[in-house]
Structure formats: structure tokens, C-alpha cells
């Protein structure tokens, strides 16, 4: 459910970005998600929180805001079927940070997963191979959205550890509500300064923004609850099927070109992600 809702919210967000800039949409997506997230707090027992919770949250907040802005920019400037698949790079960065912090090494299975992700990333631009073997790789870095999403994958490799720590010292639903309320508060002045016009919401904005916020809020709740119900590694591997759903949205909703090679590349990247998760 988290995977489907994330891909749906991303597709709706990209559609809204046609008429509004990325700072407004990034802010509005969170703002319209808050009613559901905060309402959910009334149905749970409020946990006791400690210094570790606040340390993890405060360290994660600026990185989360940066990731959200880059994420939204990537959706605006590039095809959704070409940018979202690079979120599969998160486990590669996770292995690097976990090695530096915990001394964990890459397994053989994880190594094959890295290879598959590299092959899948190459295949996203395989049509460029006619101009030379190295051209599909160069195409990745010429596509601004792809580069931004690679940066997002790196930021998420850091925040995911902090989020897991904070949830361990609170509860999934409580963390989701409080954390994204703080993210919204932090993003508001940034959006106010960067947005080219006033942060005004018109009647025509209400339905699309409410739909974006509603799907995003449900994704957050399903995501946080799933972490508490099962092995985190398995949950993440299933959630990353969102990249496959995003490629499908790119084809059916936005009529994006060269969807076959992007679908093959995205599926191979996802297979690599699963191998990394299973080998970790």
C-alpha cells in the first residue's frame, strides 16, 4: 500500500507541478497531509519520548527538507519514469555509510545487487548506446532530475537510520505525525522565500492538493506502521516497487517516451535492490 500510494502521490504531484513551482507544491503536499497525520494521533497512546528521540529528529529534519525539495524538483524537470528509479540507489549509499559507521561489509549477494542496479541505470538510457557505449552513462548526468534523485537517495540513506532510531524511542504513528508537522514548519519559511508568488491556495487548488496530501499522508502511516509489524529490510524492498508503479504512471498518465527500456531498466534496478536487502 505504501508503494502504490507513494507512486500515486508522486504522479499527482508531477501533474500539479505543470502550473505551480516546486517549492509551493512541496510545501502544499505536506500541509494537506497534516490533517490525516495529526488526526491519527488521537487514536493512539502517546508514548514517552526521550533525548534520543529529539536528537534523531533534529538531526534528520534539515536533511529531510533538502530531500523533499530535491525530490519535487526532480519530478518537475524530468520524466517520472526516468527519475524515480534512481531511488533504488539508496541501499548502495546505505552500505557505504554503514561500513564507515558500523564496519559492515558488502556480501556477495549485495555485490550482485549493486551490479544489477548499475546495469538497470545504464538501460534507462540504452537508446543512447548507438552514439557510443559511454553515452547512456553520460545521459544520466545530463538529466537534471536523475542527478537530483541520486542526491535524494543519498540523503535518504542517512535519514532512514535516524528515522528508525526515533521510531524505536516513540511509536510509528506518533513519529509520523510529529515529524512531518515539524518538517512542514521548517519548510514553510523556505517556500515563502523561494516561491515566486505568494503562498496562496485558490479554490481550484483545493481538490488536487487535497488528493496529493491525502495519498501522501496514508503512505506515511502505512510506511511507519509496516516498520513496526515486520522486518524493516523486507518492508523496504516491497515499498521500492513504487519505482515500477511510477514507470507505469509515466506511460499511461504522462505518455512518456521510450517506456519499454525504462521499464526493463527499472525492474532490473528493483531486482538489484532486493538482492542487496536480502544480502544485508
Answer whether residue 148 shows pLDDT above 70.
yes
Rounded average pLDDT over 263-280:
78
pLDDT of residue 209: 95
Q: Of residues 203 and 277, which shows the higher confidence score? A: 203
Sign of the torsion angle spanned by Cα atoms 88, 92, 95, 96: negative
- Look up the domain containing 181 and give its range: 2-279
Residues 230, 225: Cα–Cα separation, whole Å: 9
Alpha carbon of residue 278 to chain centroid? 21
Cell 521500492 -> residue: 240
Cell 523486507 -> residue: 234
What is the residue-averaged pLDDT of the chain? 84
Judged by DSSP in three states, 18 sits in: coil
The DSSP 8-state label assigned to residue 201 in this structure reads -
Answer whether residue 102 shows pLDDT above 60.
no
Give phi and psi for 81, each to the nearest 5. Answer: -75, -10
138-161 residues labelled b (16+ CB within 10 A) or e (exposed) = ebbeebebbbbbbbbbbbbbbbbb
Rounded average pLDDT over 163-168:
85
Count of residues making up the chain? 280
Residue 198 grid coordinates: 505568494
H helix intervals, the chain: 2-16, 22-31, 34-40, 51-77, 80-83, 90-102, 108-123, 135-142, 144-168, 172-194, 203-229, 232-239, 242-252, 259-279
Taking a C-beta distance cutoff of 8 angstroms, is the pair 229, 171 a contact? no
Residues 100, 130: Cα–Cα separation, whole Å: 39
pLDDT cut 90: percent of the chain above it:
41
pTM for this model (two decimals):
0.83
The DSSP 8-state label assigned to residue 21 in this structure reads -
pLDDT in tens, 68-80: 999 999 999 988 8
Domains in the chain, number: 1
Angle made by CA atoms 14, 16, 262, in degrees to the nearest 5: 15
59: number of Cβ within 10 Å: 16
Rounded average pLDDT over 92-96:
72
Residue 10 grid coordinates: 508522486
Answer whether residue 20 shows pLDDT above 80.
yes
pLDDT of residue 101: 47
pLDDT in tens, 207-249: 999 999 999 999 999 988 887 776 665 666 677 778 788 888 8
Of the candidate ranges 22-26, 36-40, 252-256, 262-266, the one whose mean pLDDT is the lowest: 262-266
Answer whether residue 92 shows pLDDT above 80.
no
Amino acid at each position: 500500500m505504501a508503494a502504490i500510494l507513494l507512486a500515486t502521490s508522486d504522479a499527482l504531484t508531477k501533474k500539479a507541478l505543470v502550473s505551480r513551482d516546486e517549492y509551493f507544491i512541496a510545501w502544499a503536499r505536506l500541509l494537506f497531509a497534516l490533517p490525516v497525520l495529526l488526526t491519527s494521533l488521537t487514536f493512539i497512546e502517546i508514548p514517552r519520548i526521550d533525548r534520543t528521540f529529539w536528537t534523531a529528529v533534529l538531526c534528520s529534519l534539515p536533511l529531510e527538507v533538502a530531500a523533499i525539495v530535491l525530490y519535487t524538483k526532480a519530478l518537475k524537470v524530468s520524466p517520472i519514469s526516468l527519475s524515480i528509479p534512481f531511488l533504488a540507489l539508496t541501499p548502495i549509499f546505505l552500505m557505504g555509510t554503514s561500513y564507515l559507521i558500523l564496519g559492515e561489509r558488502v556480501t556477495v549477494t549485495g555485490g550482485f545487487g549493486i551490479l544489477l542496479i548499475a546495469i538497470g541505470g545504464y538501460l534507462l538510457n540504452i537508446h543512447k548506446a548507438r552514439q557510443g557505449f559511454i553515452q547512456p552513462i553520460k545521459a544520466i548526468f545530463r538529466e537534471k532530475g536523475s542527478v537530483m534523485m541520486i542526491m535524494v537517495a543519498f540523503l535518504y540513506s542517512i535519514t532512514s537510520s535516524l528515522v528508525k532510531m526515533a521510531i524505536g524511542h516513540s511509536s510509528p504513528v506518533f513519529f509520523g505525525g510529529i515529524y512531518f508537522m515539524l518538517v512542514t514548519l521548517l519548510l514553510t519559511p523556505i517556500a515563502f522565500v523561494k516561491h515566486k508568488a505568494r503562498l496562496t491556495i485558490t479554490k481550484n487548488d483545493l481538490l488536487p492538493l487535497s488528493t496529493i496530501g491525502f495519498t501522501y499522508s496514508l503512505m506515511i502511516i502505512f510506511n511507519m506502521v509496516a516498520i513496526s509489524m515486520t522486518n524493516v529490510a523486507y518492508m523496504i524492498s516491497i515499498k521500492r516497487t513504487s519505482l515500477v508503479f511510477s514507470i507505469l504512471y509515466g506511460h499511461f498518465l504522462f505518455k512518456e517516451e521510450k517506456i519499454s527500456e525504462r521499464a526493463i531498466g527499472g525492474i532490473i534496478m528493483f531486482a538489484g535492490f532486493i538482492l542487496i536487502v536480502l544480502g544485508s
